[in-house]
């Protein structure tokens, strides 16, 4: 029996629990999205900017736009400019390790 198989057998219940949680999480997220959409429409229709009660605090944030630079396009069309900008304005972001899981 390989090391991977032993690990899988030892943690089989955790895999099942994770799958069940992923399904429930998706259902909850879909319900939350539906509720938020209904509240957004209601707030817009009633010209409400904020609601603060015993259950929730909601602030209406109007639509907005932002402008960004497409660094992928700069990198492919003008690598020298990309490297110059990266040298002057680049920053390093360190990300913690994690595992990626897809429930089946």
- What are phi and psi for residue 59, nearest 5 degrees? -120, 130
| pLDDT for res 28 | 97
CA–CA dist 68, 48 (Å, integer): 31
Residue 29's SS3 state is helix
* pLDDT, position 3: 80
Rounded CA-CA distance 104/102 in Å is 6
What SS3 class is residue 22?
helix
- Residue-level pLDDT at 58: 93
Q: What is the pLDDT of residue 30?
A: 97
Q: What is the value of pTM for the model shown?
A: 0.66
Structure tokens at 75: 């990198």
pLDDT at 102: 65
């Amino acid at each position: 029996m390989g090391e991977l198989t032993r690990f899988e057998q030892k943690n089989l219940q955790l895999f099942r629990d994770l799958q069940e949680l992923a399904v429930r999480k998706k259902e909850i997220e879909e319900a939350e999205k539906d509720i938020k959409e209904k509240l957004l429409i209601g707030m817009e229709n009633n010209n409400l900017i904020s609601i603060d009660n015993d259950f929730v605090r909601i602030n209406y944030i109007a639509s907005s736009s932002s402008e960004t630079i497409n660094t992928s396009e700069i990198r492919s069309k003008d690598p020298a400019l990309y490297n110059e900008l990266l040298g002057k304005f680049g920053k390093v972001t360190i990300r913690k390790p994690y595992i990626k899981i897809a429930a089946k």
